[in-house]
Each structure stands twice: as structure tokens, then as C-alpha cells.
Amino acid sequence: MAGDAAARALDSAEQGWRVLRRLAGRHAGFFTTRQVLRTGCEVRVRVALGDGSVTRAGVGLLRLADWPEGPLDEYAMWAAWFDGAAAVSHQSAAELHGLGRLRPRFLHLSVGAGRPPVTPRLVVLRRPLIATDVESAGSFLVTTPVRTVLDLAEADIGQTALDEVVGDAVAIDRCARDEIRSASLRLRPRAAARVYRALTGV
């Protein structure tokens, strides 16, 4: 009986480890201590930290060491923190889409759920994530080009910067003028007028 219980415990731990690795695989190898607890992998992860197959990526964040580093790792790491309930947005999304030259100093995230980390690096906007407003960038979500334009029209960027974002979106065929115009009808009057001015120059 004791042997059966031990075998079941071992099977459960292995199953938890497979689940944890699958979760980490969604976000470029990153996972959280919350996910470790949920999957019951505390012992396995402690061993992996000891042998170097798991590394610490920050407070409450870990990473599978065999995952290759990439230029978008920071986005994937914060997507893992929010269990996928976040999308890169605003200036950061514009940079990813190649729209304008905003050069953001912070990483902008729209977050549907979850506790934000304590870091000066992030600007977190709480709002529901609507499926039609986001798209996959592999290991994280990003707002669509149209949603990004709308977000920036509602934000505090200057009109010249918004003109450039809209001009680039149309020029590189990330979205059509009519698509932007139609979507802007849902905005408040001031933001809609900003989009209209930007479109007149395209």
C-alpha cells in the first residue's frame, strides 16, 4: 500500500512538472512561483534551481534554463506574470508594430486580471481584454494595430506623433484608412477628432 501511495505521488509530481513546463512554454520558458504552487512542483523546482536547469528571472519569476534568449523576452516574462491575461499596448505596441518613433521609456501593458508587480519599468492599464483587440506575438499578446492607434489617440502623445503612427500604419499596410476611421467612431469626440486629423494627412 505504501508503495502504491509513493508511486501515485511520483506520478502526480511528474504530471505537475509536465503541466508547469507546458505553461512555461507559452511564455518563452518563463513561469511564476504561483504556478509552481498550483502544479505542486515545489520540490522539483528547488532541485532544478540547484542543478541550474531552472534560473531566477526576478521576484516571483523563474525560467527554464534550456530556453533560448530572445529580444522579446521581457514581454514574454510579464505575460507569464499575468498568466497570459495581459497585452502589450500603447507606445510599446506601436514600437512592436513599427508605427512611429515613440521610443517608449516604459513597457505599457493592458491587463485584464492579476496583481501588478512592484517595478518602475511597467505602465499597467486595467481593462478587459477583448479578443478582437489583441493578437498573438508568439509568447505574449499585443494590441492590434487599429487598437493601438485608438489607444494612442486617447493617450497624451502629441498630434504630430499620432499623425506619424497613423501614417505608418497605413503606409506599411498594417491597417486601412477606412478601418481606422470606422473604429474611431467608438472614441470620445476629442480622440476621434485627433484620429480624423491624422487621417487627413495620409
Give the pLDDT of residue 90. 98
Q: What global pTM score does this model have?
A: 0.91
Whether residue 176 is predicted with pLDDT greater than 60 in this model: the reply is: yes
How does pLDDT run across 9-58, given as a tens digit for each residue?
556 678 999 999 999 999 999 999 999 999 999 999 999 999 999 999 99
What average pLDDT does the chain have?
A: 93
What's the longest Cα–Cα distance across the chain? 78
Q: Copy the grid coordinates of residue 122.
A: 511597467
Give the pLDDT of residue 115. 87
Cβ-Cβ contacts under 8 Å for 163 (sequence gap 6 or more) = 197, 198, 201
How does pLDDT run across 55-86, given as a tens digit for each residue?
999 999 999 999 999 999 999 999 999 999 99
Strand ordering across the sheet containing 30-32: 30-32, 61-64, 54-58
- State the pLDDT confidence band at 157, using cuts at 50, 70 and 90: very high
